[in-house]
Amino acid sequence: MAKKTIMLVCSAGMSTSLLVTKMQKAAENKGMDAEIFACSSSEADQNLESKPVDVLLLGPQVRFMKGDFEKRLAPKGIPLDVINMSDYGMMNGENVLQQAESLME
């Protein structure tokens, strides 16, 4: 399987860093080659220009930005969704990874 790049966006990029670690562990356990990283909403455009992102997940605290991101990602064909609030709260890396994978299918 080709390497997949999963970008998580939250307000400051801090709270999602723990989730990134858990998602990377889940990806390793599945034998999935993935680059998973988090950034703040203000850094999102810069990352979208510099990296080949396969899927973008928004933290629940920035769900209000979904419409704005949809407009920016549509021309690039990058799928996006809001991370399930309970999976985010429980830092369930496996479920969030699965959510990202289902969007890439």
Write the pLDDT tens digit of every residue in 44-68: 999 999 999 999 999 999 999 999 9
Q: Which amino acid is at 43?
A: E
Active-site entry in 10, 20, 23, 100: 10
Q: What span, in angstroms and rounded, lies between the C-alpha atoms of 60 and 10?
A: 8
CA torsion angle 24 36 38 51 (round to 10): 170
pTM given for the model? 0.94
Q: What span, in angstroms and rounded, lies between the C-alpha atoms of 55 and 34?
A: 11
State what percent of residues in the chain have pLDDT above 70.
97
Domains, the chain, with CATH or none: 4-104 (3.40.50.2300)
Catalytic status, residue 10: yes
